[in-house]
A = this chain, B = another copy of it.
């Protein structure tokens, strides 16, 4: 039934021999370049089929210098936010005949740098990176310097000459915060998984999405003429336990939060779990909202108000822009020019988890 497993895979030379033509001719017919007479092409493809020939893409890439592969470096695929982005990117890439090499860095900067280097060594034609929070972007600048296109996903870096595609959350955050302020909340906690070491004046550089969220909150407070106290901007929600501790911190002490906002859907789950454990009354005595409108948000009790971010559009656009550059080399942004940023607007989905601020507790 099955043909005897050949030790050596057939090459263009084998096909050429069998078809009685020169190696180059066979290669042309097989590779679909140059020109071959219909008759010869037919003979060659027949020989190829008979031999079970398959092109060696490695060799092909070596000759052409293009691998039809793009690299994707993400902090955490199991966060469905990035899962959706990954899906959109690979969809677009695949439609254009490109493959995606995925590297998960667990948000570790060193792994990210290694990944970028290795992908470049593997000669990917372009790179999509979700940069982990870090002061150092040398690896990204180095990547750009190779001349291969790089696109930043979800996070901007002013110090990297690459375009970036993300979500414009500021207006949505303003709206959300405004709604909370209008409901009488003054003490609003914000939880992010970002490490406390990054709670730093250069936050905009280190993690633009977090900076944007904080910026939107500040703007809303300012518009309402309410002083913004950033003692409730809580960093380090990277695990259920850590998040629980931060929730406790927000809800205890002399001037506790009356509303909690989580920076993504993963944290939201941990926050909600902790709030249940504490027996908090939502939305009567405590309000809650989350970034990322997860599919379960409408189903929990109370249904969670969320900032919905069009991450699939972001991913798709990212891939499109990258492939555009991949196809027209030298078209990348000048290392000197201002970084180009494209963003898609987020919107607030109002649900039941926000209520009027309660009177003093107990």
Contact = CB atoms under 8 A, between A and B. Distances in A.
Interface stretch (A100-108, A126-134, A185-193): A100-108
Interface in A101-122: 101-104, 111, 117-122
Nearest to A3: B145
Interface string A320-342: 00000000000000010000000
Contacts of A55: 121
Nearest to A118: B99
A99 B122 contact: yes
A111 B91 CA distance: 11
Interface stretch (A221-229, A230-238, A296-304, A343-351): A296-304
Contacts of A102: 86, 90, 100-102
A145 B2 contact: yes
A50 interface: no
Main secondary structure on A side of the interface with B: mixed
A194 interface: no
Contacts of A99: 101, 103, 118-119, 122
Contacts of A87: 76-78, 104
A64 to B, nearest CB: 10
Copies in the complex: 2
Contacts of A69: 101, 122
A141 B76 CA distance: 33
A320 to B, nearest CB: 17
A351 B192 CA distance: 30
Contacts of A118: 57, 99
Contacts of A299: 269, 272-273, 276, 296, 300
A259 to B, nearest CB: 19
A301 B300 contact: yes
Contacts of A2: 141, 145, 335
A32 interface: no
A83 B119 CA distance: 21
B77 A78 contact: no
14 contacts: A3-B145, A5-B147, A58-B67, A62-B62, A77-B87, A86-B102, A94-B103, A100-B102, A101-B101, A272-B299, A276-B299, A296-B296, A296-B300, A299-B300
Lowest 4 CB-CB distances: which A-B pairs, in order? Answer: A296-B296, A301-B301, A102-B102, A57-B122
